[in-house]
Amino acid sequence: MDRMLYIAMSGAKEAMLSQANNANNLANANTDGFKQDFNIFRAQHMEGPGLSTRTYSMDERPATDFSAGAIKVTGRELDVVTKEDGFFGIQSPSGEEAFVRSASMQVLENGDLVDVKGNPMLNATGVPISIPPFKTVTFGDDGTISIVPAESPSNQLVVLDRLRLVKIDAVDLQKDLNGFTKLKEGAGPLVQESVMVVSGALESSNVNTAEALVNMIELSRKYELQIKMMNTTKSHAQKSDSLLSLK
């Protein structure tokens, strides 16, 4: 009975983990730029003498869906999104380079250009961008940053810097535990690329809400099935005790 109980218990536990991942995807369906995570179940055989007949369920997050979401127009000058397979470079809190397809930016009082989460935007050389006092700031189709200095006439546009733009194959990307998209170990160095940039727009989440809701129902049924198996194990154990007490 213990075999059936532990197998059912592991199945219920892994179903809960998968539910948590699916719930996270669904909760971020309206988060700009969010990329949904995949989940799969697989059989995990136990190792060791006498244990090879036991097979447990294991839930894994094998990959992230890095496909582009829909582009929505915001009209805000500091909102930018890349086309095709391009990515912007940002600096994560750990100091490492991370990548995003779109960014809703703001200029801090000290001039630092950061995304909506406060992560510094990087320029073509991988250095955080700093913007001097300005009247207006605009972004070109190639990621060029132009400003009208605070003390200059409104028609005096100055090219300041350029956003870091790279092209990365999805197989070389991974999402870390903090949700930042980074290069996998062993991936080759990146260079500045020619990527089309759209200003005044952002990328929506690529979560399919209908699919996520169907997955939620399916995972709930899998969890209920494992609980029924645990209850069946309990019933069998009680009947076995009753038979043994008759002797």
Q: By the 8 A CB rule, do 134 and 148 touch?
A: yes
Q: Are residues 153 and 104 in the same domain?
A: yes
In this prediction, residue 49 carries a pLDDT of: 66
In this prediction, residue 7 carries a pLDDT of: 77
Domain count, the chain: 2
Interval 4-32 mean pLDDT: 85
Q: Are residues 198 and 79 in the same domain?
A: yes
Q: What is the DSSP string of 129-184?
A: -B--SEEEEEE-TTSEEEEEETTS-TT--EEEEEB-EEE--GGGEEE-TTS-EEEP
Q: Are residues 97 and 15 in the same domain?
A: no
pLDDT at 44 over 90: no
pLDDT at 2 over 80: no
pLDDT at 13 over 90: no
* Average pLDDT for the chain: 86
Q: Are residues 75 and 192 in the same domain?
A: yes
In this prediction, residue 235 carries a pLDDT of: 79
Domain ranges, residue 32: 2-65+207-245
Burial category of 71 from C-beta neighbours within 10 Å (exposed 0-12, middle 13-18, buried 19 and up): middle
Count of CA atoms in the C-beta half-sphere (13 A) of 93: 7
pLDDT at 144 over 80: yes
Q: Are residues 8 and 52 in the same domain?
A: yes
pLDDT at 1 over 60: no
Q: Are residues 155 and 169 in the same domain?
A: yes
- Name residues whose C-beta falls within 8 Å of residue 139's C-beta, 6 or more positions apart in sequence: 77, 80, 145, 146, 163, 197, 199
